[in-house]
Chain A
Amino acid sequence: MALNLPMLKVSYRAYRVWQRDRDIYLNAWSTELWPPFIEPILSIVALGMGLGYYVTDVDGLSFIQFIAPAFAATGAMYAAAFECSYASFVRMVYQKTFDAIMATPCTIEDVIGGEMLWGTTRALLSAVVVLLVISIFGLTQSWWALAIPLVAILQGLMFSSMSMVVTSLVPTFGGFNYYITLGITPMFLFSGVFFPLERLPENIRWLAWFSPLTHAVRPIRALALGDVHLGLLWDLVWMAVVALVLINVSLTLMRKRLIK
């Protein structure tokens, strides 16, 4: 049975699109390279030093020990989500970059594939930077932490494809408000980043399972603390399945939107 999956239509030319996004990023290196360092440092100081004085024990850890590894996951999430929503939308609608690229042998699948790969790359970069920062502060406790970038790649792909679905649907910039306010922000607050999921009332705790960020935070925190067990693979499978589905959905919707 030949599967007509949109994903299979992505050719090596997606890399060419990735290269373009990378070149623009490097062009703007003076404004792009340092913020990912500053944000986690500020968070660690404010939350660790400040709030951590009052919150002293979270499941046997200090407050900052508990939240710091999760910042690698949130950093990856925001990087991928913003790149494949706002940035891609600007390229698609205002700059008409996608049209320009499709006037070459690149197809829409190549373009969107490349955009998602770039979103994934930005997620990886964010996660690596956060990892470096928290390691310097002594907040990683295991060599397993070196595997965090791999989880970030999977997470980045998932959030890139998710954002791309939204981008393919919103008519204007304003449409992203729903995504950010009702999607990204609740995830940020309720996926086990700032407090263990056990604190959620039992009758709504199961909702956290549906948050993509939950399945990134759990393995990343475990890797940082050296708390590794096979059950974490389920989180990875969750993210992989969601990524695969959303990659294909976003490619289909984008083709529908742009090729009329």
Chain B
Amino acid sequence: MRDVVIQAKGLTKVYNGHPAVKGIDFEVRKGECFGFLGPNGAGKSTTMRMLYGFSPITAGQLSVLDMDVEREMRRIKYQLGIVPQEDNLDEDMNVLQNLLVYARYFDMPAKLARQRARDELEFWQLWERRDARVFELSGGMKRRLMIGRAMLNRPQLLILDEPTTGLDPQARHMVWQKLRQLRAEGTTLVLTTHYMDEAAQLCDRLVVLDDGKILTEGEPAELIGQHIPTQVLEVRGIAELPDQVRTQLDASHALVEQIGDIFYIYSDDAELLRRTIDLSCCKEVIYRLSTLEDVFLHLTGRVLLE
């Protein structure tokens, strides 16, 4: 029986009559990277806030590290690292001071705090900037500092709410690389995202959340195979698929979705898709592998990113 780090049963959150999370069940195991993938407003951040005690739960059960969130939140927090969606670094202090002051909230003695601060700054490649004021840092550096700060108390569980939103590609990849390293070192990670590449690359397992409910869960690669064919043709620039194409696709039971002016044609049959490219008279065609975004599209008829 593997160690269960988070267990949620019927987890519900209602704000003033508006249900944001509608009775979800999930389980996070020790040492894995677990993801919540969904569009804005799906309830991802709300779920995170319930996990780290910022929002009281309306109904259901939630236990973190075998402790009930309603009764033992303070004890849980000693074992948590929390990286919220928006940076909240202390602008009045420099990089190093930010970490030293934060360490103090955990009752860390000054000497240990200095050691840990140095470790984190070096890990996140910020040691050279330790005297810089926070406002001098780039967005990517601030986010790295936020995560480093969250790791000061060597938490068992690191919770990240949309960790790379707003970062440039280079910063994103650096954060991913470091998160993978943290996981390799034994930290359990929980993250929310609306980027399917982030979910696919980082998560061992994930749930797809929409409108407060879990649509599906599993390993990223399995999820794709479970719900949709493995390859897809994105066709743009035509109002309607030519009849010829339609007949062929219908005959081979290919899956066709349409969002706005883009057609998505899914099939495991590469030949069929290649023939379709020749037959369609439009200018823009993308032929690629299916992703989690396609899974979401199939399940909801909407895209992840607005």
Given A103-B84, A105-B78, A105-B106, does the pair A28, B92 have CB atoms closer than 8 Å? Answer: yes
Q: Which residue of chain A is the closest to B78 with respect to CB atoms?
A: A105
Answer whether residue A95 sits at the interface, using C-beta atoms and an 8 A cutoff: yes
CA distance A170 to B101 in the complex (A): 28
Q: Which residue of chain B is the closest to A19 with respect to CB atoms?
A: B104
Q: Which residue of chain B is the closest to A111 with respect to CB atoms?
A: B105
Contact B105 A106 (CB under 8 A): yes
Contact A259 B55 (CB under 8 A): yes
Given A96-B88, A103-B150, A104-B106, does the pair A23, B82 have CB atoms closer than 8 Å? Answer: no
Which of A95, A103, A104 is in CB contact (< 8 Å) with B90?
A: A95
Which of B52, B89, B93 is in CB contact (< 8 Å) with A27?
A: B93
CA distance A82 to B188 in the complex (A): 43
**Residues 79-116 of chain B, each 1 if its beta carbon lies under 8 Å from chain A, else 0:** 01010101011111100010001101111000000000
CA distance A107 to B52 in the complex (A): 12
Query: Cβ of A259: which chain B residues have Cβ within 8 Å of it?
Result: 54-56
Answer whether residue A228 sits at the interface, using C-beta atoms and an 8 A cutoff: no
Query: Cβ of B86: which chain A residues have Cβ within 8 Å of it?
Result: 96
Contact B106 A100 (CB under 8 A): no
Answer whether residue B274 sits at the interface, using C-beta atoms and an 8 A cutoff: no
CA distance A97 to B80 in the complex (A): 18
Contact B90 A24 (CB under 8 A): yes
Q: Is the interface of B mostly helix, strand, loop or mixed?
A: loop
CA distance A13 to B74 in the complex (A): 11
CA distance A106 to B78 in the complex (A): 10
Query: Cβ of A13: which chain B residues have Cβ within 8 Å of it?
Result: 105
Answer whether residue A260 sits at the interface, using C-beta atoms and an 8 A cutoff: yes
Answer whether residue A102 sits at the interface, using C-beta atoms and an 8 A cutoff: yes
Closest 5 CB pairs of A and B: A96-B88, A104-B105, A103-B82, A100-B88, A105-B77
Query: Cβ of A97: which chain B residues have Cβ within 8 Å of it?
Result: 88, 90
Contact B88 A95 (CB under 8 A): yes
Contact A16 B77 (CB under 8 A): no
Q: Which residue of chain B is the closest to A103 with respect to CB atoms?
A: B82
| Smallest beta-carbon distance B122→chain A, Å | 22
Given A95-B90, A103-B84, does the pair A260, B55 have CB atoms closer than 8 Å? Answer: yes
| Smallest beta-carbon distance A118→chain B, Å | 14
Tell which of A100, A104, A106 has the most Cβ of chain B within 10 Å. A104
Total A-B residue contacts, Cβ distance less than 8 Å: 60
Contact A95 B91 (CB under 8 A): yes
| Smallest beta-carbon distance B130→chain A, Å | 15
CA distance A103 to B93 in the complex (A): 18
Contact A16 B74 (CB under 8 A): no
**Residues 95-133 of chain A, each 1 if its beta carbon lies under 8 Å from chain B, else 0:** 111011111111100000000000000000000000000
| Smallest beta-carbon distance A89→chain B, Å | 15
Contact B15 A101 (CB under 8 A): no
Contact B93 A24 (CB under 8 A): yes
Query: Cβ of A104: which chain B residues have Cβ within 8 Å of it?
Result: 77, 102, 105-106, 153
Contact B91 A103 (CB under 8 A): no
Query: Cβ of B104: which chain A residues have Cβ within 8 Å of it?
Result: 16, 19-20
**Residues 133-146 of chain B, each 1 if its beta carbon lies under 8 Å from chain A, else 0:** 00000000000000
CA distance A213 to B272 in the complex (A): 84
CA distance A101 to B91 in the complex (A): 14
Query: Cβ of A27: which chain B residues have Cβ within 8 Å of it?
Result: 92-93, 97
CA distance A27 to B52 in the complex (A): 31
Contact A105 B88 (CB under 8 A): no
CA distance A96 to B15 in the complex (A): 21
**Residues 41-71 of chain A, each 1 if its beta carbon lies under 8 Å from chain B, else 0:** 0000000000000000000000000000000
Q: Which residue of chain B is the closest to A12 with respect to CB atoms?
A: B107
Query: Cβ of A16: which chain B residues have Cβ within 8 Å of it?
Result: 104-105, 107
Contact B90 A105 (CB under 8 A): no
Q: Which residue of chain B is the closest to A96 with respect to CB atoms?
A: B88
Residues of B47-94 contacting chain A, CB below 8 A = 52-56, 74-75, 77-78, 80, 82, 84, 86, 88-93
Q: List 10 A-B contacts (CB under 8 A).
A: A20-B101, A99-B88, A100-B88, A102-B53, A102-B54, A103-B52, A103-B80, A104-B77, A104-B102, A105-B77
Query: Cβ of A101: which chain B residues have Cβ within 8 Å of it?
Result: 105
**Residues 1-43 of chain A, each 1 if its beta carbon lies under 8 Å from chain B, else 0:** 0000000000001001001100110011000000000000000
Contact A105 B55 (CB under 8 A): no
Given A16-B104, A19-B104, A260-B55, does the pair A100, B90 have CB atoms closer than 8 Å? Answer: yes
Q: Which residue of chain A is the closest to B77 with respect to CB atoms?
A: A105
